[in-house]
């Protein structure tokens, strides 16, 4: 499809994964959605549930970073139940990991836990002033959860983003 100026238009849907966060464009794959719908999408990290922020829209092809990943479907009850199960796993894993951090006397603060929709891995986000040897912690967590475990050290700005806040930096960009 082309607009009046001659540039090609591409159909997209904008999806968010966090309440406060970036909007990612997806190929609607002939799926019609409304703002606020939960959708199952294909991402570089596997399948994820997101919320539609921009319903089906035509945009100039030059504004898109191709290739776009696809929307698989509007989330089903089963998908939403799995998503809820992931949230429960994340809460439990947070408590378990904090306990293990204390047992191993590791100088790190756990910030967030993310359970992948397909249960392929658990990601633990932490801050620390120095490099941490957490190999034993990873082994113990893998034995408990029987899935791939990743620990990722993040900075202060990333910490605020993961917790859904807007720091001073965000406010400055809004004032410009």
Predicted confidence (pLDDT) per residue in 56-101, tens digit: 999 888 888 878 999 999 999 999 999 999 999 999 999 999 999 9
pTM reported for the whole predicted model = 0.76
Which domains are present in the chain? 9-75 (no CATH), 81-162 (3.30.300)
pLDDT greater than 60 at residue 148: yes
What percentage of the chain carries pLDDT values higher than 90? Answer: 64
Phi, psi at 6, each rounded to 5°: 95, -10
pLDDT greater than 50 at residue 175: no
Q: pLDDT confidence of 4, banded at 50, 70, 90?
A: low
Biggest alpha carbon–alpha carbon distance for the chain: 65
Q: pLDDT confidence of 1, banded at 50, 70, 90?
A: low
């Amino acid at each position: 499809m082309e607009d009046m100026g001659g540039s090609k238009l591409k159909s997209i849907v904008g999806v968010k994964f966090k309440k406060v966060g970036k909007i990612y464009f997806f190929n609607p794959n002939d799926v019609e959605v409304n703002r606020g719908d939960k959708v199952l999408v294909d991402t570089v990290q596997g399948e994820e549930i997101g919320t539609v922020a921009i319903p089906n829209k035509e945009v100039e092809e030059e504004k898109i970073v191709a290739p776009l990943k696809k929307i698989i479907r509007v989330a089903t009850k089963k998908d939403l139940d799995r998503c809820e199960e992931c949230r429960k796993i994340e809460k439990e894993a947070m408590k378990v990991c904090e306990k293990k951090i204390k047992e191993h006397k590791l100088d790190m603060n756990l910030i967030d836990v993310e359970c992948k929709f397909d249960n392929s891995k658990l990601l633990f986000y932490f801050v620390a002033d120095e490099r941490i040897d957490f190999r034993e912690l990873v082994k113990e967590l893998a034995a408990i959860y029987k899935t791939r475990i990743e620990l990722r050290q993040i900075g202060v700005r990333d910490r605020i983003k993961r917790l859904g806040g807007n720091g001073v930096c965000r406010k400055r960009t809004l004032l410009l």
